[in-house]
Amino acid sequence: MTDKLEAKANAGKQAASLMAQEPIRKAFKDLEAEYIRMMVQTDVDNVRQRDVFHTALKVLGDVGRHLSMMIGNGKIAQAALDKLVRQQAKR
């Protein structure tokens, strides 16, 4: 059980470290703006291309949400590990 908690805690810390880096935050922001710009600039009849940019926007959001979930799950796992350590110290 502690191995799984440690793995989740470490993954959360890595995700947090990644998302704290300015180039990563800028990449998400820039890609979102670029996809929106490109979607708006498509010809009115080019539904397929707009669908491609819409899908890209959804995937970009999914990746951001997944990383946020990893961070949150990592914090929960770390709290559980800390609790186990405190319980073992009391013995």
Instruction: Report d(CA 62, CA 68) in Å as an integer.
Output: 10
pLDDT number for residue 1: 79
Side-chain half-sphere of 91: how many Cα atoms within 13 Å? 6
Is 67 within 8 Å of 19 (Cβ atoms)?
A: yes
pLDDT number for residue 28: 97
| DSSP symbol at 21 | S
Whether pTM > 0.75 for this model: the answer is: yes
Tokens representing 17 are 């470290």
Quickly count helices (H) and strands (E) in the chain: 3, 0
Q: Which of the residues in the chain have pLDDT under 50?
A: none
pLDDT number for residue 91: 78
Is 90 within 8 Å of 21 (Cβ atoms)?
A: no
